[in-house]
Amino acid sequence: MAGAHPPTPSREREGEQRTDWTREEIAALFDLPFTDLVLRAAQTHAAHHATGEVQLCTLLSIKTGGCPEDCGYCNQSASAETDLKATKLMDVRAVLQSAAQARDAGSQRFCMGAAWRNPKDRDMPAIIEMVKGVRQMGLETCMTLGMLEPHQAQQLADAGLDYYNHNIDTAPEKYGDIITTRTFQDRLDTLENVREAGINVCCGGIVGMGETRSDRVGFIHALATLPRHPESVPVNALIPIKGTVLGNMLADTPLAKIDDIEFVRTVAVARITMPMSMVRLSAGRESMSDATQALCFMAGANSIFTGDKLLTSGNAGDDADAALFAKLGLRPMQGEEPMRQEKTCC
């Protein structure tokens, strides 16, 4: 019938923790009229999360550059032709000082990232000290260190790590266009090791890498059909850095920035398909207008990275975020995330 909307999933099932989403169902969500999609995402969000609250997180690069992976978006890759200088692992005391500053600035969660393919066992004692020290400050802890072996995941769990971040980046069928030094299955193996150790999963990806909507459907489908939804789903907008494969390819082209409405659609579909996950508005936010960010919050995003830097890229900054929160009537989140509450009580 001409003008009819595509079929959509049953509303009775949308709010459930479903892991049986089909690509057709997810594509139908993407195809909804924009206002209908955002309204549905807002309703899903309100059913599972405190409205008007956004979690503040800080991300620190504890080991920068020199990574042997060839991720096409990343200026920390050794193959990227940028001016970024590789560094050694930060001193534990310096990391804890940064964490204390983040806590005093209002962050609830402190994330630490190292540009490694995988951590060496010799690095683990310092990493464990960082986790324990940050937790003692009352902050949530998150690490992203590349691929993990089961025994390393268990060491982090024993230290009390709250979250481990390991993004799938994009759809399985698009993955090989972005990275060749490890497979999509390698990503899933690390996620499984993290889950087996009892650590919460932080897993999302990047949009705006020249992918199609079908790729974005595949990306959300891969996350929403994991055996358990990630407790945290970061949605990044590509920052096309010159000297990286994608930065050189997309710079100064219409593909260099994803359409704002399409980005909000991606956030909304992530919220509907993974209703209890924290959907994190991550990299690329500094280039978004206040209106675009407001739409993302309406569509179910409820976490941001604050501060002036996100690993090696610029970020909006604490003052800009405070002004935005005041304008939108938002407040920093204080309580625990729904999936972690569920895990604790059940």
303-305 and 278-281 as β-strands: parallel, antiparallel, unpaired?
parallel
280 is catalytic: yes
Q: Which residue has the tokens 């268990």?
A: 154
Q: What is the pLDDT along the chain (346 residues), one digit of tens a residue?
A: 344 444 444 444 555 689 999 999 999 999 999 999 999 999 999 999 999 999 999 999 999 877 888 887 888 777 767 777 778 999 999 999 999 999 998 899 999 999 898 999 999 999 999 999 999 999 999 999 999 999 999 999 999 999 999 999 999 999 999 999 999 999 999 999 999 999 999 999 999 998 999 999 999 999 999 999 999 999 999 887 777 777 777 776 666 578 999 999 999 999 999 999 999 998 888 888 999 999 999 999 999 988 655 454 545 556 888 889 999 999 998 877 776 656 655 4
* Whether residue 296 lies in the annotated active site: no
Q: Mapping DSSP to helix (H, G, I), strand (E, B) and coil, where does residue 52 land?
A: coil
| Backbone Cα Rg of the chain | 19
- The DSSP code for 4 is P
Catalytically annotated residue among 57, 202, 203, 296: 202
Output helix, strand, coil percentages for the chain, rounded to the nearest 5.
45, 15, 40
Catalytic residue among 40, 57, 67, 203: 67
Give the pLDDT confidence score for residue 283 in this predicted structure.
82
**Rounded Cα–Cα distance for residues 228 and 18 (Å):** 9
Per the residue annotation, which of 182, 187, 216, 280 is the catalytic one? 280
| Catalytic pick among 71, 109, 216, 271 | 71
Q: Which residue in the block uniquely carries the two structure tokens 């976490």?
A: 303
Q: Is 203 a catalytic residue?
A: no
* 224-234 per-residue burial string, b: 16 or more CB within 10 A, e: under 16: bbbeebbbbbb
pTM for this model (two decimals): 0.89
Look at the block and give the residue holding tokens 């059909």. 225
Active site (annotated) includes residue 202 = yes
Considering 142, 216, 285, 296, which one is annotated as catalytic? 142
Is residue 142 annotated as a catalytic residue, yes or no?
yes
**CA gap 29, 248 in Å, rounded:** 33
Q: How far, in whole angstroms, is CA 106 from its chain's centroid? A: 20
Identify whether 23 is a catalytic site residue.
no
pLDDT, position 75:
80
Among the options 111, 203, 271, 340, which is catalytic? 111
